Structure 1
Amino acid sequence: MLLALVTTIGAGAQAQAAANDAEAKTIFEKFIAAQNAHDADAVKAMLLDSPGTLLFARNVDTRGRDAVASRFKEYYEGTWHLEPDMSKFRVAVISNDVMQVLVPIVFTRGLPGKPPQQNTFLISQTYVQDSSGWHVASIMPVANTELK
């Protein structure tokens, strides 16, 4: 009886982990698609509506949904394209309402009128679920892209 209970709980936990991975992957891919389409409105809609929403990039701390969306809109004025390595996509479930993803991404970016350059970063995004669904609460690139 105990073995059956443990097996059932274990199977349930594995199913929940797979569901979380799939949900996080769907959110992430939708966010990347909006970024690559340079759709600032779609990106903004995916951001958590909070003054604490964070984008830390290029040594600048940008906080708040509107400010983060505006920052992305500035990036879209030049070259901006993201290619994540989904084979290395990882999800950490923090709680029922918080998940964190890590994935290496090749950024092709350049200022308007300047030649683009490519760099790879490990991107950390935190997702928070509220009454209207999952939202991106923080985005932080890390120069070291090795997941161990």
Structure 2
Amino acid sequence: MSDETSRTINWHRHVAFAVTASAMLAAASFAPAPAARGSEDEVRAIFEQFVTAQNAHDVKAVEALLLPSSDFLWITRGTPVWGREAALQRFTALYQGTWHLDPETAGLRIVMLSEGAAQIYIPITFAIGAAGQPAQQTKFLMNQVMVRTPVGWRVSSILPIPAPAP
């Protein structure tokens, strides 16, 4: 083997090692730390409480889970609802009819954006109907942002996106 071939092989080995080491370091930096996994469990628990409160039409329980801020945002039927109080009024009206959430828990994804913020994604089917009217089932790709507050995690935004028809 010539010296030039030997140098070329060694150079390729060094490059391969550097690329592999970089990839391993990058993957390690994206692995959630134990505290983040604990936070994911807390976020999941709050989301489950949110669904339970919604399905029970329990306005007080929903209120306790929403961020108490005028910056709270819920997009519903293409219309922004700003502020927790406005959202609670809208939920109260919807609860007069059929309002039921059926999340596909196998599709739940929680992305920790920081130690104090998380993004939730989950496919979910809503049964929605005015009082005395048959409910319509509509599938959404639910997105929520939760923030950590001094009293625990709270829903900061609710952004349901209609799922494409199958």
Query: TM-score, with normalisation over the residues of structure 1?
Result: 0.86
- Structure index of larger Rg: 2
Residue from 34, 42, 46 that aligns with 1:23: 42
Identity of aligned residues (%): 39
- Unpaired stretches in structure 1, ≥5 consecutive residues: 1-5
Residue from 114, 136, 146 that aligns with 2:133: 114
Q: Which residue is equivalent to 2:81?
A: 62
Q: After the TM superposition, which segments of 4 or more aligned residues of structure 1 sit over 4 Å from their partners? A: none
Q: Secondary structure at the match of 1:33?
A: helix
Q: Which residue is equivalent to 1:124?
A: 143
Q: Give the structure with the larger helix fraction.
A: 2
Q: Secondary structure at the match of 1:68?
A: helix
- Unpaired stretches in structure 2, ≥5 consecutive residues: 1-24
Q: How many Å separate the matches in 1 of 2:133 and 2:90?
A: 18
- Post-superposition Cα deviations, 1:47-71, rounded to whole Å, max 9, x if no partner, equal 1011100110111110111111111
**Aligned partners of 2:36 and 2:115 also within 8 Å:** no
Q: Secondary structure at the match of 1:72?
A: helix
AA of the residue aligned to 2:97: G
**Aligned partners of 2:42 and 2:153 also within 8 Å:** no
Q: How many Å separate the matches in 1 of 2:58 and 2:49?
A: 11
Query: Within 5 A, what are the aligned runs for 1:36-47?
Result: 36-47=55-66
Residue from 108, 115, 120 that aligns with 1:101: 120
- Post-superposition Cα deviations, 1:58-92, rounded to whole Å, max 9, x if no partner, equal 11110111111111111101001110000000011
**Deviation at residue 18 of structure 1 after TM alignment:** 2.6
Q: How many Å separate the matches in 2 of 1:21 and 1:99?
A: 8
Q: How many Å separate the matches in 2 of 1:60 and 1:13?
A: 35
Q: Secondary structure at the match of 2:144?
A: strand
